[in-house]
């Protein structure tokens, strides 16, 4: 399975944004929440999940959306289950390392 991964560097730090391939460009709605899986934020390289996790492991700031990528981060212990939001049935999480 494939995911999109985009690395953005700014001021010596970097942010990794990753989403399941089938979510790119979609808008999710849940009550008053509207979440856009925007191409300009998530639309980097299309890679397999293992490649994505190699990039994510070393990143200080991470933004993930989608069952595939969030489940893999959960399996690897990078995120706690209570830190995962459900947006219209799609898991989303953020990881910030200081």
Containing domain of residue 69, as a range?
2-96
Residue with token string 């995120």? 79
How confident is the model over 6-19, as pLDDT tens digits? 999 988 788 999 99
- 13-20/2-10 β-pairing: antiparallel
Stretch (H or E) spanning 39: helix 39-42
10-residue stretch averages of pLDDT, the chain, 98 residues long: 94 91 96 94 97 94 98 96 95 92
d(CA 78, CA 31): 28
Q: What is the pTM of this model?
A: 0.93
CATH number, domain of 43, equals 3.30.1860.10
Number of folded domains that form the chain:
1
Stretch (H or E) spanning 70: helix 67-75
Nearest-CA neighbor of 96 among 64, 50, 54? 64
């Amino acid at each position: 399975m494939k995911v999109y991964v985009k690395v953005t560097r700014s001021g010596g730090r970097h942010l990794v944004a990753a989403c399941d391939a089938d979510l790119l460009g979609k808008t999710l709605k849940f009550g008053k929440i509207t979440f856009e899986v925007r191409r300009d934020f998530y639309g980097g390289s299309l890679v397999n999940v293992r490649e994505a996790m190699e990039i994510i492991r070393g990143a200080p700031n991470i933004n993930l959306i989608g069952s595939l990528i969030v489940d893999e981060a959960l399996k690897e212990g990078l995120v706690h289950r209570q830190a995962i939001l459900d947006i219209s049935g799609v898991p989303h999480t953020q990881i910030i390392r200081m």
